[in-house]
Amino acid sequence: MIRSLLVAGAVVVCLALGLPGDETGPAPAVVLMDPQISWVPEAPAEGTLFRIRVQASPHTPLLGVHGAAAGEELHFRRIDDQLFESFAAAPIGAGPAIDAEFRVVYEAEGEESFTSTIPVTPGVYDHEELRVAPRFGAPPSPEDQAQLERDRASARKASQTAHRTSPRWDVDVMMPRDSRVTSGFGDGRVFNGRVSSRHMGLDLRGARGDTVLAAAAGDVLLVEPFLLAGNVVYLNHGAGLLSAYFHLSEQLVEVGERVSAGQAIGLVGATGRVTGPHLHWVVRYGRTSVDPRSLLTVMLPVDSMP
């Protein structure tokens, strides 16, 4: 492994590191240390967002950091001269750990790859019994099946777009409704006596016509009628993050519009597969759905994160 670097006085030296028996090069002027990779919190809960930090050693400044965790691309931002940070997601059902890989690009020259194993804390979930309309309990009709596939394709494309967009959020982040949680993220759902799925969003109480706010600043990505989710609004917050608001009675924004945190984007409704009006709120990192409340905690200053 050969690295070249600039030391004080702008003398360029080449250091041969990790090559036993190689004593032909000059004595190292400085001790090179690998960048330090850490994450907050130390063992993120499954189904939550967390932060990954890459701290360069003072003598080997970095030009940039790239990587992936649990199969999702990471988007590192420079926090200061030596610190880079990205959001990441621990998927639900991730097991005891997720794998992450990093490629650091040195300011002087060259790049290097690292891997980390990030421990994950298991989540705790409820089970919920639901009665649904027979239409949704039976296999879908060919027409419904075709629409389901179109809806899924739109959602997948939204994830790809979020990964390709630079950060759109600012410091403001909030719950889209100031109301009680009526169904938690990750809860098991029993439809017609069978456990059929997990609840991959957060249900917030609301009456038809109540206002739904944008949780963070972003670009309006989708305004659609979906079969199961009803009238939806998807916001692209960039750097892999998106949020979605389901079952709306009205959508108050248009595709391409820039919205700020707290802006009214829709009204609570009961469209799609629902038993009554409420807001189903979704937050995803790429394709990975997370507990939407972790969007609020991941944006806190590092020393006040739970």
Q: Is 203 in the site for Zn ion (CB under 5 A)?
A: yes
Kindly write out the interface string for residues 4-33 of this chain, putting x where it contacts Zn ion by CB under 5 A and - elsewhere: ------------------------------
Smallest gap from residue 278 Cβ to Zn ion (A):
7
Please identify, using beta-carbon distances, which residue of 76 and 281 lies nearer to Zn ion.
281
Please identify, using beta-carbon distances, which residue of 229 and 241 lies nearer to Zn ion.
229
Smallest gap from residue 291 Cβ to Zn ion (A):
12
CB distance 117 to 87 below 8 Å: no
List binders of Zn ion among 241-280 (CB under 5 A): 280
List binders of Zn ion among 277-306 (CB under 5 A): 280
Number of residues interacting with Zn ion: please give it, by CB under 5 A. Answer: 3
Smallest gap from residue 183 Cβ to Zn ion (A):
5
Smallest gap from residue 201 Cβ to Zn ion (A):
5
Return d(Cα 219, Cα 140) in angstroms, integer: 33
Return d(Cα 254, Cα 215) in angstroms, integer: 17
Kindly write out the interface string for residues 183-202 of this chain, putting x where it contacts Zn ion by CB under 5 A and - elsewhere: ------------------x-
**For binding to Zn ion (CB under 5 A), which residues are involved?**
201, 203, 280
